Amino acid sequence: MDSLGAIAELINQNDDFLVAAHVSPDGDTLGSALALARALARLGKRAQAVCEDAVPHIYEFLPGAADMLRSENARPARVAVAVDCADAQRLGSALPLFRAAEKTINIDHHETNNAYADYNFVEKAGATGEHVLRLINLLGPEPDADMATCLYAAIMSDTGSFAYSSTTPDSLRAAAMLVERGADPARINRRIYRTIPFGKQKLLGATLTGLALHENGRIGLACLSAADIASCGALEEDTEGIIDHIRDVEGVEVAILIRESASGVFKVSLRSKHFADVGGIAASMGGGGHKRAAGYTVLGSMEEAASGALTLAREALRA
Ligand SMILES: [Mn+2]
User: Which of the four pLDDT bands, split at 50, 70 and 90, describes residue 319?
Assistant: confident
pLDDT at 112 over 90: no
> Rounded to the nearest whole angstrom, what is the distance from the C-alpha of residue 154 to the centroid of ligand 1?
8
- pLDDT tens for 120-139 read 999 999 999 999 999 999 99
How many angstroms separate the alpha carbon of residue 158 from the centre of ligand 1? 6
**155 CA to middle of ligand 1, Å?**
8
Q: How far is the CA of 113 from the centre of ligand 1 (A)?
A: 11
Q: What is the mean pLDDT of residues 74-80?
A: 98
- CA of 231 from ligand 1 middle (Å) equals 30
CA of 57 to the centre of ligand 1 (A): 18
The CA 159 to ligand 1 mean position distance, Å, reads 9
CA of 25 to the centre of ligand 1 (A): 10
Cα(125) to ligand 1 centroid in Å equals 9
pLDDT attached to residue 28? 98
Distance CA 242, CA 219 (A): 15
In this prediction, residue 105 has a pLDDT band, given cuts at 50, 70 and 90, of very high
Residue 239 Cα, ligand 1 centroid: separation in angstroms? 17
Compute the mean pLDDT over every residue in the chain, rounded to the nearest whole number: 97
Indicate the pairing of strand 254-262 with strand 288-289: unpaired
Mean pLDDT for the stretch of residues 113-125: 97
Distance 268 CA to ligand 1 centre (A): 17
Reported as a single tens digit per residue, the pLDDT across 54-72 is 999 999 999 999 999 999 9
At 296-310, the pLDDT tens digits run 999 999 999 999 999
Q: Which domains does the chain have, with CATH numbers?
A: 4-193 (3.90.1640.10), 198-318 (3.10.310.30)
CA of 84 to the centre of ligand 1 (A): 5
pLDDT of 295 > 90? The answer is yes
* Nearest to 258, CA basis, from 216, 218, 301, 291: 301
Cα(109) to centroid(ligand 1), Å: 6
86 Cα to the center of ligand 1, angstroms: 9
Flag whether pLDDT at 5 surpasses 90.
yes
Please give the average per-residue pLDDT across 74-83, as a whole number: 98
pLDDT at 189 (0 to 100)? 98
Ligand 1 center from residue 127 Cα (angstroms): 5
pLDDT 10s digits, 148-207? 999 999 999 999 999 999 999 999 999 999 999 999 999 999 999 999 999 999 999 999
Distance 83 CA to ligand 1 centre (A): 8
Distance 225 CA to ligand 1 centre (A): 26
| Ligand 1 mean position, distance from CA 233 (Å) | 28
Distance in Å from the first CA to the final CA of the chain: 30
Rounded to the nearest whole angstrom, what is the distance from the C-alpha of residue 216 to the centroid of ligand 1?
A: 32
Predicted confidence (pLDDT) at residue 1 exceeds the cutoff of 90: no
Report the separation in Å between the CA atom of 128 and the middle of ligand 1, taken as the mean of its atom positions.
5
